[in-house]
Structure 1
Amino acid sequence: MTTSARRVQGVYLTLLLGNTLAASFIWGINTLFLLDAGLTNFEAFAANAFFTAGMVIFEIPTGVVADTIGRRASYLLGTVTLSLSTALYWLLWLWHSPFVWWALASMLLGLGFTFFSGAVDAWLVDALSVTGYTGSLEAVFGRGLVVTGVAMFAGSVLGGVIAQATNLGVPFLLRAGVLVLMFVFAFIAMRDLGFTPDTTMGPLKATRNILAQSIEHGMRKRSVRYVILSAPFASGVGIYAFYALQPYVLQLYGDPKAYSIAGLAAAILSLAQVAGGIVAPRLRRMFAKRTTTVIGASLGSIVVLVLLGLTAFFWFAVVLLVVWGFVYAVAGPVRQAYLNDMIPSKQRATVLSFDSLFGSLGGVVVQPALGRAADLWGYGTSLVIGGAIELIGIPFLLASRRQGDPADTSGAHGNGDAIVSGS
């Protein structure tokens, strides 16, 4: 590996470390935070749905920023937007504001994350290509998953402990502060390599062009289309389950005020994510096709969600949490590498954002629906229903597999797959 490629990976991993540490301060207590502000389960998950609705609305416009102004500019705007909207969240909690304000603030959070989605991965792949990296994409994404898992563990534990020692609002302030530090780091260390921003078109024309390119390279290519169409089911259920598990674990534990236990649950998921990130490239080489790994992990996730919903024992639920986090993490790097290998370099950020948009669409519908199910029948039943919803995405993955795209078998053996620029 060249020195330049090693430096690119170092910057990428640092960005993931800072982003995840900032985000994970509140992951273990976010639902508890919303409920403490006076929201019902339905309203809490509806607020999360407005967050994902914000991602749906802003994915394409922020994709224009990444593909016309630059990936670095997109990242910097994301840190500023997220820091300010996180501070606003804290103020709404402080004031016990009505739901409508939570909905608006959640959409601003969604805007912040869309500046990241697609842009960071596209920056990495383009920069590695121009620096001569010929290794495995799964290996790089797997290292990223390990780093985010470690950061998630540290942030989740600290967030839960700090919330219990102080109050539920302090972790949100810590999150805003870390995001400011990440802005400074990215401003100094991040440079657009292997990508030349296109500023020849105005914003509206660029938006139309980006949307057209998303459709051309995303929806019209069948192998890519079916992967994207599977995203709403897995992503929608995954987001709901992650946040629903906070109060559900406390319910099984028997103490609704044990915020450190909620943080521990998120930390357990992070450790499982670390293991998944390490194992994913090795599991990939055991199968001829990438889709085998992704489909197998999805089926495993469904089974675990059903078992989680049916159990009444805290420690068994903890074991299931580990398994769910592991299988969910294994699918991530392989799915990322599969998509990246099917997308031309020039449209990479756009199509990845389009994929994220479809995942967000699932969250808009699934989260409030399952939140309402939790209000009516309990968290356990809502997780079982979630497993059934995730199952709907499996036929789409099978359809992508049947297309026989070369990306499905790329890197099955040996050292890995070379990064393709696409044409």
Structure 2
Amino acid sequence: MKDFHASQVYMLMSFMTSLANATMFTTYAIYQVIELGLNPLQLLLVGMVLEVTVLLFEGITGVVADTYGRKRSVITGMFVLGFGFVLEGSALWLGQASPMISAFMWLLLSQVFFGVGATFISGADSAWMVDEVGEDSAGRIFMRARRAGLFGSLIGIVLSVGISAFWGANLPYIIGGILYLALGLFLLVYMKETAFVKPDRKEGGGLSSHWKEMKATWLSGAQVIRSYPALIMFLIVTLFSGAASEGYDRLWQAHLIHEIGFPASYSFPTAVWLGIIAVLSTLLSLLVMWIVERRIDMSNQKVVFRTMFLLTAARIVAIVALAFSPGFEWALMSVLFFELIRTMMGPMYETWLNLNIESKSRATVLSMMSQTDALGQTGGGPFIGWIGTRFTVRASLVASALLFAPILLVYRRMKDGR
């Protein structure tokens, strides 16, 4: 049986999860907005259920990863996510088969599995990789994995468009769920964990001792954050970023479908237009990743903070431009601009965090960051959705842009060393 190096396994995970996610989420609006007929508030409620689940389970699952092993946590997450996505794709059929429970309610239930599965993986995958390959190689592998993920996204986009347009708007979710289940089986065989040091366990065992171990690990992660001011700043960034991005992520496709429209001169199905946007975004992101990997010194914190400050300001501009787009062409440029910014910020954020957290608490601290992101999305999402239902989706997008503004102040202080 062939052995895979940890970096190869991590890049394969990035490729497969990106493939599955692009298959499901490229045309999600056709399923949720057109097929199921969800309004802006319902779209944000779907996100709220997901994020409340993350908020409740993120800390627990992060501690599980640091206490019992990152491999166990990641594989568990893959199987839970796979089941959740299959359930989400089946919500349409289940709603038709059971009039007592609507498709919307099945959709909400699937978000619980989505959230639990995501929390098992969040932080654990990158913590496992950093421990296995060493901190010096982590930044380079994060970049390479991101690039591998973009190639997976390209394939997933094509699958999403073809499946949604010709077979069924819900089928991309079922295919994506099956891909997650297949990845879980692969990791069960080929994912090795050699660098993880299991915390010392006291004699006696039992359920109470397990909870004590997890509590101790969680408290150590909280202590790391309290003792490092920059991590506290990043908590604030993550909180507002979560609140702002939730509105954009859930509503930009609905904005294009209902308020902007697609060019009438080309009689393409909606799935094809969304696929074209996703392909353009991914190709441009590949180019940007190639430039960033060679031009930005990821080890220089001032350079990283200055870049993230500028990119956050650009995010605000991109969302406002989308909200007030006079036509499809302007909206397309705004969406592509926003996605390029997101692509650049991800590896910077992950690299900086992983290199400034102790190994023994790495997965816990990363999970706490994800928990903060979930808190922001839980608090901001329904309010932004209400604005879209009460007024317009344009108004929701403007509100999302405004929530990015406090992040500029935080990055300014971090850049200046205050």
For normalisation by structure 1, the TM-score amounts to: 0.87
- 1:112 alignment counterpart: 117
Cα distance change on mapping 1:33 and 1:220 into 2, 3 Å: farther
- 2:57 alignment counterpart: 58
Q: 2:275 aligns with which of 263, 274, 279?
A: 263
Please give the alpha-carbon distance, in whole angstroms, between the structure 2 residues aligned to 1:370 and 1:160. Answer: 28
Please give the alpha-carbon distance, in whole angstroms, between the structure 1 residues aligned to 2:90 and 2:283. Answer: 32
1:310-349 equivalences under 5 Å are 310-349=324-363
- 2:98 alignment counterpart: none
- 1:276 alignment counterpart: 288
- 2:205 alignment counterpart: none
Please give the alpha-carbon distance, in whole angstroms, between the structure 2 residues aligned to 1:328 and 1:176. Answer: 25
How much has 1:13 moved relative to structure 2? 0.5
Please give the alpha-carbon distance, in whole angstroms, between the structure 2 residues aligned to 1:22 and 1:283. Answer: 30
The one-character-per-residue Cα deviations of 1:225-279 (angstroms, maximum 9, x if unpaired) are 1012211222332243233222222342348961221233333333333233323
- 1:409 alignment counterpart: none
Q: Is the 8 A contact 2:69 2:198 kept in 1?
A: yes
Please give the alpha-carbon distance, in whole angstroms, between the structure 2 residues aligned to 1:367 and 1:70. Answer: 33
**Number of aligned pairs?**
396
Cα distance change on mapping 1:203 and 1:301 into 2, 3 Å: same
Cα distance change on mapping 1:263 and 1:219 into 2, 3 Å: farther
The one-character-per-residue Cα deviations of 1:162-199 (angstroms, maximum 9, x if unpaired) are 10111111111101111121012211221113212236
- 2:17 alignment counterpart: 19
Percent identity of paired positions between Structure 1 and Structure 2: 20
Cα distance change on mapping 1:280 and 1:149 into 2, 3 Å: same
How much has 1:402 moved relative to structure 2? 4.2
1:358 equivalent to 2:359? Answer no
Q: Structure 2: where are the runs of 5+ without partners?
A: 96-100, 203-208
Of stretches 249-258 and 25-34 in structure 1, the one that deviates more from structure 2 is 249-258
Tell me which amino acid in the other structure corresponds to 2:173: F
- 1:419 alignment counterpart: none
1:1-400 equivalences under 5 Å are 7-35=5-33, 36-96=35-95, 97-98=101-102, 99-129=104-134, 134-135=136-137, 137-198=138-199, 200=201, 202-251=209-258, 252-254=260-262, 258-285=270-297, 288-400=302-414
The one-character-per-residue Cα deviations of 1:366-394 (angstroms, maximum 9, x if unpaired) are 22222222223322222122111111222
Helix, strand or coil at the partner of 1:392: helix
Helix, strand or coil at the partner of 1:14: helix
RMSD of Structure 2 on Structure 1 (CA) = 2.3
How much has 1:58 moved relative to structure 2? 0.7
Please give the alpha-carbon distance, in whole angstroms, between the structure 2 residues aligned to 1:87 and 1:390. Answer: 34
How much has 1:38 moved relative to structure 2? 4.1
How much has 1:120 moved relative to structure 2? 0.6
Tell me which amino acid in the other structure corresponds to 2:287: A
Helix, strand or coil at the partner of 2:136: coil
Cα distance change on mapping 1:177 and 1:72 into 2, 3 Å: same
Please give the alpha-carbon distance, in whole angstroms, between the structure 2 residues aligned to 1:39 and 1:246. Answer: 12
How much has 1:283 moved relative to structure 2? 4.1
Helix, strand or coil at the partner of 2:371: helix
The one-character-per-residue Cα deviations of 1:53-92 (angstroms, maximum 9, x if unpaired) are 1111111111122111111111110111011111221232
- 1:408 alignment counterpart: none
Cα distance change on mapping 1:242 and 1:171 into 2, 3 Å: same
Tell me which amino acid in the other structure corresponds to 1:326: L
Of stretches 152-161 and 167-176 in structure 1, the one that deviates more from structure 2 is 152-161
How much has 1:157 moved relative to structure 2? 3.0
Please give the alpha-carbon distance, in whole angstroms, between the structure 2 residues aligned to 1:257 and 1:381. Answer: 27
Ranges of 4+ aligned residues in structure 1 off by more than 6 Å: none
Tell me which amino acid in the other structure corresponds to 2:199: D
How much has 1:355 moved relative to structure 2? 0.8
Q: Is the 8 A contact 1:80 1:180 kept in 2?
A: yes
Of stretches 146-155 and 9-18 in structure 1, the one that deviates more from structure 2 is 146-155
Tell me which amino acid in the other structure corresponds to 1:59: E
Q: Is the 8 A contact 2:67 2:217 kept in 1?
A: no
Cα distance change on mapping 1:396 and 1:206 into 2, 3 Å: farther
Cα distance change on mapping 1:282 and 1:381 into 2, 3 Å: farther
Cα distance change on mapping 1:183 and 1:228 into 2, 3 Å: same
Of stretches 36-45 and 224-233 in structure 1, the one that deviates more from structure 2 is 36-45
The one-character-per-residue Cα deviations of 1:309-362 (angstroms, maximum 9, x if unpaired) are 111211222122221111121111112111112111111111111111111111
Q: Is the 8 A contact 2:68 2:198 kept in 1?
A: yes
